[in-house]
Amino acid sequence: MKSLFRAVVLLSAAWLVSNLQAEGWIAVTDRADNPLLIEYLLSADLAQSLQAVEEIGGRKDPYISDIISALQGGHRQQLLLRSLLRAAFSPESAGEELERRLAANQEGLELLARGLDGFELPLRQESVRVLRATAAEEFDRYILEQAGWCVGLLLEQKGLTDAEQSAFLLEILEYAGSRRSTLFLDPVLRILEATRSRIVAEKALQIARILAAVRTAFRNRGEWSPARN
């Protein structure tokens, strides 16, 4: 039965490509066609699949949670998922449009947060960027775990990081700064202490100052009472 379904899906994809022209054919699809698109992404060559995820990210229907789930696999799938996230939740998107796309994919965002440990660093970095855009507290615990992983990496490598690792560290720090939660102050300080990268250290110091100011302001408010004033 599964093989029959797969054959039908692939034939449907071939029909769409041949009848609607390869360029732009995905624009006419919506979430009901996602199973077909998943099969296409997994069976087409890499160049075609990368073009397809770009178009999926820009189509009118924003729902892609099931596609996010299907692409949590090996290197090829992760490459496609990273491109999909960049296209669907573009940093250049207008605020309202980005919010609309994030709201339509809560299930997919939760999958990203839970799957971080299994991702290669480029996909981890892109996933953290997308999660940061939600400004949602529910993802903090997953990012705190990643911050702890970063500290362990720095200690293991005596503070040295390659370009990919440094980029991920900077994204974690950006998330911490955007959340302004004092829960992140300790891991940020540990990153600052352990890193030997000037760029990472400068960013960690900047974020640590922000979080320390938040903690100080919080304590000051807690110490204030009408009886003392």
Nearest Cα neighbor of 184 from 144, 142, 150, 213 is: 144
184: DSSP letter: G
Q: Is-contact 168 119, C-beta < 8 A?
A: no
Mean pLDDT of the region 27-37: 94
Structure tokens at 50: 């990368």
Average pLDDT, the chain: 89
132-190, pLDDT tens digit by residue?
A: 999 999 999 999 999 999 999 999 999 999 999 999 999 999 999 999 999 999 999 99
For residues 178 and 9, which has the higher predicted lDDT (pLDDT)? Answer: 178
pLDDT at 7 over 50: no
117-134, pLDDT tens digit by residue?
A: 999 999 999 999 999 999
Question: Taking the mean position of all CA atoms in its chain, how far away is CA 82?
Answer: 8
Q: Is-contact 49 79, C-beta < 8 A?
A: no
pLDDT at 5: 44
pLDDT at 226 over 50: no
Count the Cβ atoms, other than its own, within 10 Å of residue 153: 18
Cα–Cα distance for residue pair 105/109, rounded to 1 Å: 6
Cα–Cα distance for residue pair 202/34, rounded to 1 Å: 43
pLDDT at 225: 41
pLDDT at 14 over 90: no
Domain boundaries, the chain: 1-134, 139-220
Contacts of 118 (CB under 8 A, 6+ apart): 72
For residues 6 and 50, which has the higher predicted lDDT (pLDDT)? Answer: 50
**Cα angle for residues 114, 27, 134 (degrees, 5° grid):** 30
pLDDT at 88 over 80: yes
Q: What is the pTM of this model?
A: 0.86
Residue listed under structure tokens 């949670």: 65
